[in-house]
Structure 1
Amino acid sequence: MKPYLLSETNWLMLKEFRYDLAVLPWGATEAHNYHLPYGTDNYEASEIAEKSGAIAWEKGAKVVILPTIPFGVNTGQSDIYLDLNINPSTQRYIIKDLLTVLNRQGIKKFLILNSHGGNDFKTILRELGLEFPDMLLMCCDWFKAIPKSKYFDHSGDHADELETSLIMHLRPDLVLPLEKAGQGKEKFSKIKGIREGWAWSERKWSKVTEDTGIGDPTKATVEKGQNYFEEITNKVAHLYLDICKLEGTDHYEK
């Protein structure tokens, strides 16, 4: 039994024990080029949340990892077969229901560990913060925590060198040989503001990529994935620790 994983602990322990922080890993179910599984984001979310939880627990953090939510916002992928979408409004209902339980039972610190670029929880947490004013509501995108260039040769953001290396390390049984992978070439907008990043329109997946990947995966290796996983889980673990060390929910300097 891993006491920091809610799915593995039991009522004998939790009848008396109380946690400081609840972490909700959140992924998506979607195509990842030809060579990676539809559950890529969920494997990443679960494994990073769990390993980070183990590190933080050993250092004294009373953190509990909730079961991973496996469905994300995939509104731009409606024509990609079995890319499963839940709307942001649905996410809000899920989060509110869970916060209602946590708040009632005295867990005042809550972190979403996001594993999918289509999920954006900031607006939802802003709104729910007015409904749960005595709680600390946070989210983080683990894939933004370390510069990709530190470990990887090619940039990208979906089934790219990073994700391919990571799944090679975490679930090698689910990765097809790299010669099966598409090139992950991205088609860019004709609108200059969108290309420069200061204007936005949702990417229509079948318009921007032919193989559902964005980023060249060909230089991915198990070693890169392992090294990245070790650093990212240590960094996320320290985020857990920083949150748990707070007295109450005030995280501002005096």
Structure 2
Amino acid sequence: MDRRTLLTSSLAGMAAAAASAPETRAQAGGSGPPPFAETMAEMTWQEADAAAKSGASVLWAFGVIEQHGPHLPLGTDVYIPSAVLRRARQILAERGHQAVILPAFYWGINQVSGAFPGSVEVQPATMIALMADVLSSVKKQGFARVFCTSGHGDALHNKTIFDGVTAGRAASGIDAAVLFNAPLVKRLGLDTASPAVLGFEVAESPARFIDVHAGDPETSAMLHIHPELVRKDLLPTLKSTDYGPADLAEWRKGQEAARAKTPLGYFGDPASADASRGAARLEGQAKAMAEVILARVGGK
């Protein structure tokens, strides 16, 4: 199926589902937990003070508000890492190390998807300055360690997180690090000896075609953590892009090039998504992150 036929078919499916989708999501039980659920925002100042004095680590999720195809919400890159950190905190507690979760950072860099409506962009310098201020504030409160993770694959976004962590360390002396999976560390060309980055390994199933945005992995994760936010009626209409390395390179040029390459805003195979696979992947990420955190803090 050529791109024009794919677009026409998918848009027809979107139109058919648009009227019923909001009602379906409401009947499913609302729209997920509030944005501050299980974060420090729900604590009192005395509770935050006690957590800092007890040696608790701080966990911080980074995402963006950007398009994720016609089937996933704009906040997908925030919902997924936030869920991973909630589970990581549980694992850390079971292993004897306490952690608190800072409200997610969601005003990030959208170099690739910036041409789509709903994608909000900020400048790297803005992001770095804000990160440094927040990390300095957390240090002032008595917390000694902050561990960040990212739900957004944009290279510039993730390099900026690393730069923000580095700036925060320099400004306040806090022991902060960003947790990246090993392939991303390599892609960004980061020095693995830097205290500002911690690499972790997660086994991934081999795929026939590249799936990097709003495809099977992200849709599977959202079906697991927030199924009421997935426009499930649209999934059968979304054909796999079946793209390879050359297509990925073109898409990564960003902005209008990315929109031309993926007119519906997804790069992969969302229709193949499965909630159980999303649950397993989330669990694997949370465990891997917990392990590198424990190694850093000297836990069990």
The aligned counterpart of 2:175 is: 136
Selected match of 2:224 from 169, 177, 197? 169
Match of 2:272 among 219, 222, 225: 219
Equivalent residues of 1:109, 1:135 under 8 A apart: yes
Identity of aligned residues (%): 22
CA distance in 2, matches of 1:54, 1:80: 36
Task: Give, in angstroms, the shift of residue 161 of structure 1.
Answer: 0.9
CA distance in 1, matches of 2:179, 2:237: 32
1:30–1:83 contact (8 Å) kept in structure 2: yes
Q: CA deviation at 1:186?
A: 4.7
Q: Number of paired residues?
A: 236
After TM superposition, give the deviation of residue 10 of structure 1 in Å. 2.2
Alignment of 1:1-254 (within 5 A): 5-18=39-52, 19-118=55-154, 119-120=157-158, 121-132=161-172, 134-141=173-180, 145-149=201-205, 154-177=209-232, 178-184=235-241, 186=243, 202-204=253-255, 205-245=258-298
The verdict on how the C-alpha distance between 1:54 and 1:168 changes in structure 2, with shifts beyond 3 A counting, is same
Structure 1: segments with no counterpart, 5+ residues: 247-254
- The one-letter code matched in structure 2 to 1:11 is W
Distance apart, 1:15 and its partner CA: 4.1
Q: Measured at CA, do residues 84 and 105 of structure 1 come closer, stay the same or move farther in structure 2, by a change above 3 Å? A: same
Measured in 1, the distance between the counterparts of 2:44 and 2:170 equals 33
TM-score (norm 2): 0.69
**3-state SS of the aligned residue for 1:130?**
helix
The answer to whether the 8 Å contact 2:89/2:98 transfers is no
Q: Secondary structure at the match of 2:296?
A: helix
User: For the Cα contact (< 8 Å) 2:84–2:283, is it kept in 1?
Assistant: no
Q: Secondary structure at the match of 2:129?
A: helix
CA distance in 1, matches of 2:51, 2:281: 33
CA distance in 2, matches of 1:147, 1:231: 8
More helix by share: 2
Q: Is the 8 A contact 1:35 1:180 kept in 2?
A: no
Contact 1:34–1:211 (8 Å) recurs in 2 = yes
8 Å contact from structure 2 (residues 210, 244) kept in 1: no
- Give a deviation string over 1:41-71, Cα, whole Å, max 9, x none: 1110211111111111222213111011122
| Cα separation, 1, equivalents of 2:117 and 2:79 | 20
Ranked by relative contact order (alpha carbons within 8 Å, sequence separation 6 or more), the top structure is: 1
CA contact 1:25–1:68 (8 Å) conserved in 2: yes
Structure-1 residue corresponding to 2:190: none
Runs of 4+ in 1 over 6 A off after TM superposition: none
**Alpha-carbon distance in 2 for matches of 1:115, 1:64:** 18
Structure 2 unaligned spans of 5+: 1-37, 184-200
Distance 2:179 2:225 in 1: 21
Distance 2:264 2:245 in 1: 15
Q: Relative to 1, partners in 2 of residues 1:155 and 1:148: Cα closer, same or farther, differing over 3 Å?
A: farther
After superposition, the CA RMSD in angstroms is: 2.9
Q: Which amino acid aligns with 1:10?
A: T
Q: Deviations over 1:11-30 (max 9, x none)?
A: 34334442342121111111
Name the amino acid aligned to 2:61: P
